[in-house]
Amino acid sequence: MRRAIAVLTLVVVGCGGGVSLDGYYAEIEAASQAFDAATEPLTAGVDLDSDIAAMAESVDPNDPDQVARFLEDATTLAKAQTDDVLAESGVAAAAFVQRLSEVDAPEEVATEHAAAVERGEALVAEIPRIRAEIDAAATLEDFADALSASPIGRLSEEFSAACRDLQAIADGEGITVDLGCG
């Protein structure tokens, strides 16, 4: 009887396990698609350079008051558009990373999955900081300085690289999936 229980236990443990590699990638792809669907509309129609150029067309460069007003309006526009995109993409990124963190990664991708979650969390944590820096910018120069000083570009690239690592494993395993790593 003990032997039967031991065999039954081994069978149950052996068959139970976590999600399969195919199942894992299906979950990750679904999370990626949800993120893409949430963020795609955020930048549609947003072209800050064109918007500022259009504002500049009506400014007389020889009129200091018009130039000052233009610079103030351009700064306000740059801050508002960027903050809107960061706020909404931050919500979507946080939901995406949370969803990733809840996926039970198979052993074959556990290290890469953990790296993706860690890098995603770092990126999400930076968004409120850069939003605060942008909000504090008084001029276009301050705005540009805040963006260039922020590690958000590097963090975004690191998160994308972790995604590409997961994509490479899927490709190597012959799993047809598009994680949209950018």
What residue ranges do the domains of the chain occupy? 20-172
Q: Is the pLDDT confidence value at 130 over 60?
A: yes
Q: What pLDDT sits at residue 17?
A: 52
- Please indicate whether residue 154 or residue 8 has the higher confidence score (pLDDT): 154
CA distances from 57 to 52, 67, 72, 86 (A): 9, 11, 15, 28
- In this prediction, what percent of the chain has a pLDDT beyond 90? 81
Q: Is the pLDDT confidence value at 14 over 80?
A: no
Q: Is the pLDDT confidence value at 12 over 70?
A: no
pLDDT digits 0-9 by tens, 32-89? 999 999 988 887 777 888 999 999 999 999 999 999 999 999 999 999 999 999 999 9
- What is the pTM assigned to this prediction? 0.81
* Non-local CB neighbours of 44 within 8 Å, separated by 6+ positions: none
